[in-house]
Amino acid sequence: MLKTNNSQQPVHQPEITPQVRHSAREIQQWLLTKLSEMLAIDPSSIDITAPLKNYGLHSVNAVGLSGDLEQWLGRTLSPTLIYSYPSITQLVTFLANEADTPFRLSEETNTDPKTTNEPIAIVGMACRFPGDANTPEAFWQLLKRGKNAATEFPSERWNIDDFYDPSPTTPGKMYTRHGCFMQDISLFDAHFFEISAREALRMEPQQRILLEVAWEALENAGIASASLAGSRTGIFVGMMNNQEYAQLQISQGDGSHVDDPYFGIGSASSIAAGRLAYVFDFQGPTLTVDTACSSSLVATHLACQSLRNNDCNLALVGGTSSLLLADTVVNACKMGMLSSDGLCKSFDASADGFVMGEGCGVVILKRLSTALAEGNPILAIIRGSAVNQDGRSNGITAPNQLAQEAVIRSALTNARVDPLHVSYIEAHGSGTALGDPIEIEALNTVLGQGRTDQQHLMVGSVKTNIGHLTGAAGIAGLIKTVLALQHREIPPHLNLTDLNPHVPWEKRPIIIPTFRTPWTSEQETRIAGVSSFGWSGTNAHLILEEAPTPHI
């Protein structure tokens, strides 16, 4: 007998038969028989790995099934059990092996405080960047050849002549004709991911591309996604809240979107990470991060923390962005943020803004000790990272030199790396007359002191190649730096003719390579930093080290 909280009167509960141990085979057969009776289908037609909702099991009969199962097994079960274990295979595994097992600290639950600073291995990566850079290999070719991926706005996005005006003050007009775009953004293999055509139509391109690139990153790591199903794999996605696709559907549709349940989730930023977890059945920490331009590097920092805290055993980190509406570019022009000639001229005297772009990148992370023990390919190592905030700076979107210095110092401390051992910085490189000098001075203050003529700090920015990818900007810089470490070469920084006059370059041990430069180092390994600063004021910095040389 139980009592309700309100009336304190006894509430009759059905008597549960004494608990009987059943084998996995018996439980599976019972479920198949019961479901065939409830749903009037042939047991042989039921795929035991598929979600039961596919066969018409809804909330009411799911609760009924849990109750019947409870009676048969003779032990109390949650009425929402079917939602926790949505397939027969998952149900059987839980009921046969996990039930009534007391909590134990497993061997994988490492409470060693040393793990708080354990290096993190990058074991896989994939990308979809402008300039047909659809693989890391293609991206490296673009970088080393010094290619600028900017083009005129594609006609399938909008007619640039309808929106272009060279005057920055003309209402409703943009003063630039250029951006950096992915190819075939509308294409998606929905069937491969078991997504219906109707639902895929409502999914914004960022969600679709993120799914494909995540799959490719796992392939690159040599990891079958199915092998991680049900595991504590974490998902950390950086993206800016983007309602462009929803607005397109509203403006171009017939109003039917309001009656389509897929419309809301198709454009929800939280679903970008949640859908990955759902499709791959990953059960670790899963979140979407929006700190504007620094989103994906902040996501990487959070993933490293999660791995070190043993919240997950593997982390998938992604950054994604798309550019679908002319209004977005018009608004950026009104803020004076964009380059007028389609060139991002970071650190140049003529720098007048960045080029808007879109793209997607994903990296796969593991604790270094785990990656070494399991024989994973190691592309590079994240030694440390840090995140901070500008606070009350000179305007909500204005950069803060002291905050940039602080976040780099914190990352070095977390990584236990001497500033003089850092030989390359992948800069945020906003390409503005104000932002560029502030970033260089912050780098000089933290990393430039005590360097000799042979210890120059090299600085570059991927924005000169593929533009500013907003939510994916940080991970683009990260992937570029991993490739540079692998090839031991710094690709050319583009669009630099005359150095920004607001920096006393002759007094700074900083060089910006404008041609392919061998990456030499006086240290045993090459070490780099990657910066990403959000217009929200949130800054992130990562310290990277080249992968250890394999022992033969």
Comparing 211 with 53, which gets the higher pLDDT? 211
Helix (H) or strand (E) holding 446: none
For the stretch 292-301, pLDDT in tens is 999 999 999 9
Q: DSSP H helical segments within 339-394, as ranges?
A: 368-373
pLDDT attached to residue 254: 72
> 29-43, 44-58, 487-501 — which one is most confidently predicted on average?
487-501
Which residue, 390, 551, 533, 545, is CA-closest to 473?
Answer: 533
Rounded to the nearest integer, the mean pLDDT of the chain is 90
pLDDT attached to residue 259: 82
> Which residues does 470 contact at the CB level (< 8 Å), separation at least 6?
240, 292, 293, 295, 321, 356, 357
Q: Is 280 helix (H, G, I), strand (E, B) or coil?
A: helix
Do residues 321 and 240 lie in contact, with contact meaning Cβ atoms separated by under 8 Å? yes
What string of DSSP letters covers 169-180? TSTT-BS--EEB
The token pair that represents 174 in the structure block: 């943009």
Give the Cα separation of 545 and 531 in Å (integer): 15
Q: Which amino acid is at 437?
A: P
pLDDT attached to residue 411: 98
For the stretch 117-172, pLDDT in tens is 899 999 999 999 999 999 999 999 999 999 999 999 999 999 999 999 999 999 99
* Confidence bin at 110 (pLDDT 50/70/90): very low
3-state helix, strand, coil in the chain (%, to 5): 40, 20, 45
User: Which residue segments constitute the domains of the chain, with CATH numbers given?
Assistant: 2-98 (1.10.1200.10), 120-546 (3.40.47.10)
Give the Cα separation of 484 and 411 in Å (integer): 20
pLDDT attached to residue 366: 98
For the stretch 418-457, pLDDT in tens is 999 999 999 999 999 889 999 999 999 999 999 988 899 9
